[in-house]
Chains A and B, each alone.
Chain A
């Protein structure tokens, strides 16, 4: 009995705990052409950890908007289904969870499109799976992925490697890193008259991308980049880091990254070592925008932020759907959304809703609406960010919105001036 039988028996071991299991097996290609029925839009966001507040206010804003328009897109009833792509143990998005969600999006027969993700890394995992959906490709519209490679040639093989089926299925409503960084550098050179600058990045995809773009544009604008170093979000403080920067006597510091990555400490130590923000200017991209905790810091006063789209205050002044939404949000939750990404989330939802409206209700048709003909276009009087928005049907990229320059004063982000993108 012993050896050979044992080898034989051991073949295919596993899973007493899993006996009597099941699930959506291979393919199971769903057909969602139940015309006029309820269609589901998957919302894929990190609901644990540092991005929790941002994600929750995004979901709330989207749900609110959907309620406002009566949960309808053309003849279809629409509802949201929220997926969490993070785990608590990691406190951040998780690659395995993203892979699982990708399967779930495709497996859920009622689901026709995905809004998300927050993190570009997660999108890199999900986009190729949705693209290969046998009943699709399935549309994915992100409100926050700024990594250029997802839509345009950036690194080798990008973006084709994310679309194995050969046709595009990924779009986004946010301008990519390269615009943010470039606008920041142009503003620093032209308006602030800065001659040299130090770049710090948070060692994440977004931060590195923005930092790189800032550095390249700064050189063109005649700003000397004294260095581009990573800050480690896990470190207790950054006084030593700024001590090393101080030696190069910068006129400005550009924080390419997200406030969540211990940005508060970073700003405090910047002021502690280099002096306040009128002496050594502090610039940051929209990764620092929309955080009340950042705006409230004494050390953040005077900092300049760049941001694509309009701020909450300006939107309110201009009126329109954006203002309505913000007012309704404040009425319901007692405060403005925790992040500017909440409005982008609604913008992404608008794109998906228009695609559904034009389509016959199947995944394939919804995706085609975005990537054929003239694509999706949201007029300025409908768009919640207050400006006309076009999705380029060739790449899925957004027609670039103007970038606003903001300044933190009196614990609020004040609109300083618009910055045309060139």
Chain B
């Protein structure tokens, strides 16, 4: 399906949309459509229609799903691009969230700093503009990404998962216990930091019911993260990541600096995690440490795996679907089902089965995800180097990764990695076994 559409497009001269533009355009159209729907259509719908949308697709759920998208895209850079399994990604979400908690609330009442913030000028505490806090949160998390990434650099993939998991447990515990750091209340403990200032655009402040504007803001953050993801992937760094993911040893032999490349994956991924944290804090209106547990990291991983590791659009789709199922879909389905059939089944409790089952079934039957990235599929189905060698395989075999489907020998146009003009000369893009 991904292959035959551009062929059709070529046949129709009026609709000459390049293959690589189809997804971005499609998503932009969908985003605008959603905005228009919530802004104009639904408020004018009859009470029945309004109830339907309020129950099945409330804008809060959409906004929450967008936060998940931001975070999942960050994890996608670490896991999907660079192949570094991170089981503690929730740590960055927490760090981003607390950045917002610290800089956008009256928590540090000892000081009085106002910088284009959304709070009244008289309120004590640090009140910095949401936009600045986004930048600060991103930078703060990038630093932490490097700190967390550094000890893992020498490790094999499964050990690495464990160390990240360790950080994913320690950092939230620090926030939970941080109400008395040598007598100083750093995080307010389990009580968390509430409320967080509203987002301010100039002098206009977003109230709790201006969800549709928040939606636009979150969509813009998603765009930034998608843009970063796509641009980096095509560039030098992205190709180095893919090279590491596919064969670390070969990549390092070809001159890819392992240390710097891996750390940058952590840092860039963490930036997205931090953005998500800040966005989430404004979405909820506070930051509470209870949230940041292992199941969040696993849910994020399930989103990346379901959508298709390495494919930005797939991950986005996976995150939207799972976030919606988690927050609204499953409970609402349960309510309707129970009302319809007079049963009393606790559907939300099937969450564990659902997310666990998704991970297992996807790995067993469709490892590449619902929207596969051709390269991932290949890597995940290819026996490891040593196995192939032991079977006497010729490692110089013609590049099979250019085939999207075994029968359709078309070059994948959304795979600009090898054919890209910038790929020459450095040896950085030579991780692929061409």
Residues of A within 8 A of B (CB): 1, 5-7, 9-28, 48, 84, 87-90, 92-100, 102-104, 106-109, 120-121, 124-125, 128-129, 132, 134, 147, 155-157, 161-162, 164, 203-205, 208, 230
Contact = CB atoms under 8 A, between A and B. Distances in A.
A150 to B, nearest CB: 11
Given A19-B33, A26-B212, A88 B350 contact: yes
A132 B295 contact: no
B10 interface: no
A121 B288 contact: yes
A244 B350 CA distance: 41
25 contacts: A6-B21, A10-B27, A10-B223, A10-B227, A15-B27, A16-B27, A16-B320, A21-B53, A22-B57, A28-B50, A84-B331, A87-B327, A90-B291, A90-B295, A93-B290, A94-B291, A100-B60, A121-B290, A128-B195, A132-B208, A156-B106, A156-B109, A162-B195, A203-B190, A208-B191
B195 A124 contact: yes
B32 interface: yes
A15 B331 CA distance: 21
Given A9-B24, A98-B284, A15 B30 contact: yes
A156 B27 contact: no
Contacts of A103: 58-60, 208-209, 211
A22 B38 CA distance: 5
A128 B196 CA distance: 11
A129 B324 CA distance: 22
A354 B25 CA distance: 56
Contacts of A203: 176-177, 189-190
A20 B37 contact: yes
The 3 A-B pairs at the shortest CB distance, nearest first, are namely A22-B53, A22-B42, A156-B109
A100 B295 contact: no
Nearest to B123: A157
B61 A100 contact: yes
B64 A204 contact: no
Interface centre among A26, A87, A109 (most CB of B within 10 A): A26
B47 to A, nearest CB: 8
Nearest to A102: B208
Interface in B403-425: none
Contact of A99 (B27, B210, B230, B283): B283
A83 B327 CA distance: 12
Interface string B86-122: 0000000000000000000010010000000000000
B195 A161 contact: yes
Contacts of A89: 295, 299, 326, 351-352, 355
A129 B207 CA distance: 9
B286 interface: yes
Contact of B351 (A24, A88, A102): A88
Contacts of B213: 26
B132 interface: no
A157 B124 contact: yes
A23 B62 contact: yes
A156 B124 contact: yes
B427 interface: no
A13 B219 contact: yes
Given A157-B106, A157-B125, A12 B60 contact: no
Interface centre among A14, A26, A96, A208 (most CB of B within 10 A): A14
Interface centre among A15, A27, A204 (most CB of B within 10 A): A15
A32 to B, nearest CB: 13
Nearest to A21: B57
B290 A132 contact: no
Given A103-B211, A132-B207, A5 B21 contact: yes
A106 to B, nearest CB: 7
B185 to A, nearest CB: 9
A18 B328 CA distance: 13
A121 B192 contact: yes
Contacts of B26: 16
Interface string B160-199: 0000000000000000110000000000111110110000
B54 A124 contact: no
B30 A14 contact: yes
A19 B321 CA distance: 12
A96 B280 contact: yes
Contacts of A25: 38-39, 42-43, 59, 211-212
A125 B284 contact: yes
Given A15-B34, A21-B38, 6 more contacts: A24-B53, A25-B212, A26-B213, A99-B60, A124-B192, A164-B195
Contact of B58 (A23, A26, A48): A23
A155 B32 CA distance: 43
Contacts of A125: 194-195, 284-286
B21 A100 contact: no
A134 to B, nearest CB: 7
B151 interface: no
Contacts of B64: 96, 99-100
Contacts of A5: 21
A104 B290 contact: no
A97 to B, nearest CB: 7
A88 to B, nearest CB: 4
Contacts of B320: 14-18
Contact of A95 (B37, B125, B284): B284
B62 A121 contact: no
Contact of A23 (B25, B30, B57, B188): B57
A51 B105 CA distance: 30
B24 A13 contact: yes
Contact of A134 (B209, B230, B328): B209
A37 to B, nearest CB: 13
Interface centre among A16, A102, A129 (most CB of B within 10 A): A16
A89 B28 CA distance: 32
B82 interface: no
A205 B189 CA distance: 8
Contacts of A102: 208
Given A15-B34, A24-B53, A90 B293 contact: yes
B267 interface: no
B351 A14 contact: no
A208 B284 contact: no
A204 B59 CA distance: 31
Contact of B38 (A23, A156, A161, A208): A23
A24 B285 CA distance: 19
B62 A18 contact: yes
Contacts of A93: 290
A164 B49 CA distance: 31
Nearest to A97: B327
B209 A21 contact: no
B348 A88 contact: yes
Contacts of A95: 192, 284, 286, 288, 290-291
B360 interface: no
B313 to A, nearest CB: 8
Nearest to A11: B223
Given A89-B299, A90-B295, A124-B195, A14 B222 contact: yes
B66 interface: yes
A277 to B, nearest CB: 28
Contacts of B209: 26-28, 103, 106, 132, 134
Contacts of A100: 58, 60-61, 64, 327-328
A307 B123 CA distance: 38
